[in-house]
Amino acid sequence: EVRLVESGGGSVQAGGSLRLSCDVSGYGSFRNFIGWFRQAPGQEREGVASIYRYTEYTDYVDSVKGRFTISQDNARNTVYLQMNSLKPEDTAMYYCAGTLIVPNFSPRGGDPWPKTDEYKWWGQGTQVTVSS
């Protein structure tokens, strides 16, 4: 069974940094996507960043480009979200999620990134609070 466990949330002042970790277990292959999502009170869940673990293709929502970086460790057991230049509007519960196995993926070939409802397994979330 796939299991995802987030850690690393906390409270920081605007302009600060945090690194979130998502420990991934239970997959029999690295041919899948891990995404970071966030949800603020009263707002819809938003996709923040995604990585196709096999080739390390990455994708970001426009509002975090240049500030956030998604990556994985060498063993590909942990997916990170490095968040720099944090803003109060980044305050939310952050979740990591994983898709089913995707045997092949080529964004340059026009393959679409998975939608939120294609993520099957979800972690419990970690809170990020950015004060002004």
Tokens for 68, please give them.
Answer: 């956030």
For 19-56, the pLDDT digits (tens) are 999 999 999 999 999 999 999 999 999 999 999 999 99
Contacts 24+ apart (CB under 8 A), 7-11: 7/126, 8/126, 9/94, 9/126, 9/127, 9/128, 10/127, 10/128, 10/129, 11/129, 11/130, 11/131
| Chain mean pLDDT for the chain | 97
How do residues 54-78 score in pLDDT, each as one tens digit?
999 999 999 999 999 999 998 989 9
Phi and psi torsions of 98, nearest 5°? -130, 145
pLDDT digits 0-9 by tens, 94-115: 999 999 999 999 999 999 999 9
Percent over 70 (pLDDT), the chain: 100
